Structure 1
Amino acid sequence: MASPGFEIGRPSEFGVELTRLLERCLKESRCVDTESLCIVAGEKVWAIRVDIHALNYEGNLLDAASVAAIAAITHFRRPDVTVSGEEVTVHSPEERDPVPLSVHHMPICCTFAFFTQGKHLLVDPSLVEEKVMDGKMVIGMNKHREICMLQITGEMLLLKEQVLRCSNIAVVKVTEISELILKALENDRVARTSGEKCGFAESVEPKKITSTKTDHQDVEMEEHDSDKMADTSHSSDDDIQIVRPEDSVEVKILDKGLAAIGEGGQNTWEIDEDVATEAMADAAAAATSSSCLQGKGDNQHEVIDLDSGSEEETTMTLSHDDLQTHRPTTTPAQAASQKSADRKGKKKKKK
């Protein structure tokens, strides 16, 4: 329901991580007095469970879930209980007013997203920002500056100063959110006392469609060296001479299947002129050697330089006439068969 990326059934890795972080933030921090949940020592206790239903996932679900969980725990009321000997009586809300839970403090999660190896910091990332971030740090803290949970994930390294800076930002955010929760709980209590509409279901107007909308904010970005290099590359591209088809250009035939059009423009590939000259000389030498190998006649196929000190292997190309002159008249097998035939002929003559 919250997002098409979530499947029904077995929880995903993200769901398991979210559940464990909430347990560390709420359960292991002992924000609720568990002794007050005891009814009969060693026999009966109250079991508290928090179910979170996400309506729309647009990023940073952990912070929203922690705020909703601690607000639900603080707002929850359990039935009053009377213990008489071994008899336990649970009173209905009509008989006795429900009893609130004993909450020591309100831990709230605050998520920080990091970009470019921790150089840029972002608080409360959205879904798009979570997909491109290098890593994140989650701090669970209450308004008393007590850290209840801390987790760092991602491929990045943070300095001590960065962690302290994030903790100082988290204190401000947690204090503001705690005051909003307490204010909302007080308004709900006043509404229930005066008999006005209260609760989420009663406060929603059925004939209206609510939507979230945020105004676009301009972000000032500093110009980096990479942007300057990109501008320089664009300026160098403007210097390239563009040859149009209608211009009269001379075509030079360099070799078979090789031609050159025009004289070219300014060198923009940052290649040393000496290297380019040597490459052109090597190409011309290769073209000359190939023309020498072809020769003028049919029997001239190779030119061998005996003065060169090269140790590479040479390949000789033989013509059809050379193969006929060097080919033996008879093979060893044919000579043996001829000898055996001559012997048989001599034996017949003797007989």
Structure 2
Amino acid sequence: MPRAIDISNVEKTFILEALATSHLRLDGRPSDQFRDVTLSFGAQLGTVTISIGKTRVNVQISAEVTKPSEERKFDGIFTVTTELSPIASPAFEIGRPNEQEVILSRILEKAIRRSRAIDTESLCIVAGQKCWSVRADVHVLDFDGGLIDACCMATMAALYHFRRPDVSVDGERVTIHTMAERVPVPLSILHSPICVTFSFFGDGSVTLLDATAKEEQVREAELIITANDFEVCQVAKHGGRSIDPALVMKSFQVAVGKAREMNKLIRMRLAEDASARGVQELSAENDRGEPPVG
């Protein structure tokens, strides 16, 4: 499988000089502006596709009943798997994860699971015997930079959108109800972490948000800040260039503001989808000649 073509020296020089002299980007965006973000939900609950510029990611949430781990008998299980295929970029190869895929998996693991965004105790059915195992499958469809930010945002939107079947317990007997029998149950989400990636150029004199693939190839360092609406949850730095502490503190404030902005977009799109699904269900009931419930 061919590898991605590195940026040419001419393009590299042009990008760096434009940033250094005039703070200009190839697409004309301000340094602190994200590309256009679009968020759409699939017909199945827990299926989300997000686009940030030309980067496009699909996430699907699934759940099954399994046995909890011996170390955490009162908790359910939550896992995130990532897939970077050659469909998204020739830089990705099937069966041969590169450094970018390893970093993506680790960041999502820390940002969502380790920060306890999901209340795993609520996934327990019978302590030590049965629990829900929730899995987020992240598929990268197109790549043009900003991959971690897009994947984290898509995963959180999918988790909010997902509904698991309701369960009743009678002694040791566990009954999983179909959607026709009982209304499915949303996941218990404690907070909504969003990753915001800062790219640094020119010894830290220029900082960009949502870098494109070409900008990522010429940056000197990156700082990935995970934040929710109120606080910073995680910080990860990659690249050899050191970053001034004052610049890091300023980035914290920007990250919280951007996380609040992205979470507002997620909530708005979730409300629109819920409204559309309500209209569709009502229409289906009327087609069958059944009165709407409630």
How does 1:12-161 map onto structure 2 within 5 Å? 12-144=98-230, 146-161=231-246
Matching residue of 2:266? 181
Instruction: Give the whole-Å Cα distance in 2 for the aligned partners of 1:13 and 1:114.
Output: 19
Task: Pick 1 or 2: higher relative contact order, CA cutoff 8 A, min separation 6.
Answer: 2
Instruction: Give the whole-Å Cα distance in 1 for the aligned partners of 2:181 and 2:205.
Output: 60
Higher helix share: 1
Instruction: Give the whole-Å Cα distance in 2 for the aligned partners of 1:160 and 1:134.
Output: 16
- 1:152 maps to amino acid: K
Instruction: Give the whole-Å Cα distance in 2 for the aligned partners of 1:147 and 1:27.
Output: 15
Q: Secondary structure at the match of 1:31?
A: coil
Instruction: Give the whole-Å Cα distance in 1 for the aligned partners of 2:255 and 2:88.
Output: 26
Measured against aligned partners, the alpha-carbon deviations of 1:123-150 in whole angstroms (never above 9, x if no partner) come to 1100000000001000000001x21110
Q: Secondary structure at the match of 1:55?
A: strand
Q: Secondary structure at the match of 1:53?
A: strand
Instruction: Give the whole-Å Cα distance in 2 for the aligned partners of 1:196 and 1:125.
Output: 41
Deviation at 1:10, TM superposition (A): 3.0
Given that residues 193 and 228 in structure 2 are in contact (C-alpha distance below 8 angstroms), is that contact kept between their aligned partners in structure 1? yes
Cα-Cα RMSD:
1.3
Percent identity between matched residues is 46
Instruction: Give the whole-Å Cα distance in 1 for the aligned partners of 2:92 and 2:138.
Output: 15
Q: Structure 1, unaligned stretches of length 5 or more?
A: 198-351
Matching residue of 1:168? 253
Aligned length: 196
Structure 1 length-normalised TM:
0.55
Larger radius of gyration: 1
> Displaced runs of 4+ in structure 1, greater than 4 A?
none
Deviation at 1:196, TM superposition (A): 7.3
Deviation at 1:77, TM superposition (A): 0.3
Higher strand share: 2
Deviation at 1:91, TM superposition (A): 0.5
